[in-house]
A and B are shown apart, each in its own frame.
Chain A
Amino acid sequence: MSSVSVENVWKTYGRQTVLERVSFEVAPKSFVALVGPSGCGKSTFLRMLLGDEVPSKGRILIDGEPLMAEPSPERGVVFQKYSVFPHLTCLQNVMLGLEFAGAPRLGILFGRKRREAKEISRDMLQCVGLGAAENKYPSELSGGMQQRLAIAQALVKKPKILLLDEPFGALDPGIRAGVHEVLLRLWHETGMTVFMVTHDLSEAFKLGTRVIAFDRRRTRPEEAEAYGATITFDLPVHHPIPKPADVVLKEVQPIELKAAV
């Protein structure tokens, strides 16, 4: 249940401006989908929310507090790849966050605390439908199962904000729908604020309560370096009653829709 305010954020690398004048407010328990063409800075923006990158100008506040300048447990994350640890089983992957908190020196829990952490982690694995796979290594899981594991691993820390960087980009459509369902259910149950970067517009409208698009307003080659991308549209999506976007989008390719917008 956290609000996020983004106040006039810019990001520049040397002379190259990537993002400029990005400002918006996000109400608690929002599901914000960030869309836009490749290289428009939506992933850069997510990394700033994460604390992996620092804004060149402006600031980001969570519940009125400035963001910590490095990743912290209040912000969970799921990447498209490399989100889980290959040397740990499913159960160990989920337990890891609890072990970091409970054992500052060794990072390993023992005895009663270990049993409690195991219980919590098993429940979490059940929630994402991986109860039967707790002793498997990530390399033995399918892509969809790996992403569900990554979600479970992030959520065991009860983050205020969950950041998703094209989490389902590499999944088949059928599997993707299954993971969507898991994600939506957990979002409803926990009430966390979610930011999801995607280049799939139908996914953005299906999951998001709000869709924010980034793009460059100026596209002449000589201006490309000096002007960055910014918010080009910001659309609330009302769920669940009328979902016109869904109906339309099933037929329309994302690229055509973008042209239409």
Chain B
Amino acid sequence: MRRLINQQPSVLNSLLLAALPFALVLLAYAVASEARLSINPDDKLLPDWSTIEAAIIRMGFVADLRTGNFLLLEDTMASLQRLAIGVAVATVIGGLIGILQGLIPYARAMLANFTSVVAMVPPLAILPILFITFGLGELSKVVLIVVGIVPFIVRDLALRTSELPHEELIKAQTLGASTWQIILRVVLPQMLPRLIDSVRLSLGAAWLYLIAAEAIAAENGLGYRIFLMRRYLAMDVILPYVFWITFLAFTLDFILRVFQRVTFRWMYRGQA
């Protein structure tokens, strides 16, 4: 018998093993739901599939009586817009500061300690300050996302920039490059794919801040809807929303990964 660390599953077994945890969760849910509903048919905690399906149709494919909008679509667009603006702003700010902090000794002397301290401030703790300062509208939600993920992006990019081989910077100087030209032609192009990695890692946090902000003060959005439905114990709506959010987050991550592979082929060429 070979050691466990040396045993490789076949392709088919890999697929089956990958599906197993998902299947187990679904099965556990089905059993528990069945058990509860058999005792009390009006139980709202673990609705059965037909109830969930009805809720999906109600939220996704029937116009709301009051506003005439499709709620799922409206919530999704509102949330994605906040997320996109927040992440885009954070990417630009974080990328710029990170590169400067990683490359320029004077910038590092000024910013390194400051960003380390700011990174330790729990963003949700300053959410009240943001609401007071920027009001309850879109701005405070976007600012929360920016404040929440910029410190991570800055520190990650600064680290990646400072890890560029010293030889490359020397070589660029012997080719006559100024500091500005080095940033533009040597550092920035090599940092863009790292920046995408950094954004991918921050997306989870960005969703967290988005939903938290929407839960507290919003008129639409995925987080708003979930927390609204909580008051009615409407698990039949909350569960599909959670699935939908997970799917959106997964898709965004996938798109970024593919974009990075296609755009920055130099990172992957010749590594086969």
Task: List residues of chain A with CB under 8 Å of any chain B CB.
Answer: 50, 52, 70-73, 75-77, 79, 81-88, 96-97, 99-101, 104-108, 136-137, 139-141, 150, 153-154, 157, 159
Contacts and interface: CB of A to CB of B under 8 A. Distances in A.
B185 A71 contact: no
Contacts of A81: 165, 167
Given A83-B167, A85-B172, A139-B266, 8 more contacts: A70-B173, A73-B176, A85-B168, A86-B267, A100-B176, A101-B176, A107-B185, A139-B269
A157 B175 contact: yes
Nearest to A139: B270
B184 A107 contact: yes
Given A104-B181, A107-B184, A73 B174 contact: yes
Interface in B168-201: 168, 170-178, 180-181, 184-186, 189-190
A56 B190 CA distance: 35
Contacts, number: 90
A140 B175 contact: no
Given A107-B181, A139-B270, A71 B173 contact: yes
Contacts of B265: 137
B185 A137 contact: no
B184 A96 contact: no
A100 B170 contact: no
B168 A157 contact: no
Contacts of A70: 173
B50 interface: no
Identify whether the interface residues of A are mostly helix, strand, loop, or mixed.
loop
Q: Which 6 A-B pairs have the closest CB atoms?
A: A82-B165, A71-B173, A97-B175, A140-B270, A139-B270, A82-B167
Contacts of A99: 185
19 contacts: A50-B174, A52-B170, A72-B176, A76-B174, A77-B171, A81-B165, A82-B165, A85-B172, A86-B190, A86-B267, A87-B190, A87-B267, A96-B185, A100-B177, A107-B181, A136-B269, A137-B265, A154-B175, A159-B174
A75 B189 contact: no
Contacts of A104: 178, 181
A75 B168 CA distance: 15
A107 B177 contact: yes
B262 to A, nearest CB: 15
